[in-house]
Amino acid sequence: MSPRRKVDEKERDFFAAGTTEPKAPLRWGLPVTALLAFVLAAAAIAGSVFILVGHESYNRTEQRDASALFYVRGFMTEYTSLDPFHANDYADRILAEGTGEFAKSFKEKLNDIVIQVARAEPTTGVIQEAGVQRWNDNGSADVLVATNVKSTGPDGKTLIESGTRWVVTTIEEGQQWKISQLIQVI
């Protein structure tokens, strides 16, 4: 070694006995990779939770729509299928399905309805299509229903068909759906 040369502490002197090993250079690769893996895993978990919550919300909405539609389809089939030989039973069944404004109105006109049903020809109601129009703030649903009513004429041979559309407002009271409003759409 030249006497003028300065020896750096990091340089290794192979001729010096008993000197310590120099410190290894700091390696950032592993900590940076671990940090990136952690951030990526956290983002994946957060994204999965976000998607799961959205999916569950969508499923609840679909189940609620299906439940309301199933009930309204059954009610409207019963409502449009008249049996003049059991007019009182018909009126009692429809009244039992009502609540709110619909029940109040139906109860006020109960005698007139029973007389009209008893004088009518037997009909069969068929639901062509039904769909949830909107959900209201009070938890009720407005359902648009297209029905087709089939009956025979007074001569017993002529088939009479008529189609109608209805907006049915249904609300779940406890564990059961009820009809709170029924409006025929022209």
> Is position 116 within any domain?
no
- What does the pLDDT read at residue 68? 94
Which segments in the chain show pLDDT lower than 70? 1-22
Measured at the CA of 145, the angle between CA 122 and CA 67, to 5 degrees, comes to: 105
- What does the pLDDT read at residue 10? 64
Whichever domain contains 49, its CATH number is 3.10.450
pLDDT in tens, 18-28: 556 667 777 88
pLDDT in tens, 124-139: 999 999 999 999 999 8
- What does the pLDDT read at residue 65? 93
> Is position 61 within any domain?
yes
> Is position 97 within any domain?
no
> Is position 169 within any domain?
yes
> Is position 21 within any domain?
no
pLDDT in tens, 36-62: 999 999 999 999 999 999 999 999 999
- What does the pLDDT read at residue 51? 97
**Amino acid letter, residue 128:** Q
- What does the pLDDT read at residue 27? 85
- What does the pLDDT read at residue 177? 93
**Number of domains observed in the structure of the chain:** 1
> Is position 93 within any domain?
no
> Is position 7 within any domain?
no
Report CA 126 to chain centroid distance, whole Å.
Answer: 25
The total of other beta-carbon atoms located within 10 Å of residue 95's CB is 14
Measured at the CA of 172, the angle between CA 139 and CA 144, to 5 degrees, comes to: 70
- Phi, psi (deg, nearest 5) at residue 91: -65, -40
Structure-token match 């502490």, residue found: 9
- The residue range of the domain holding 66 is 29-80+123-185
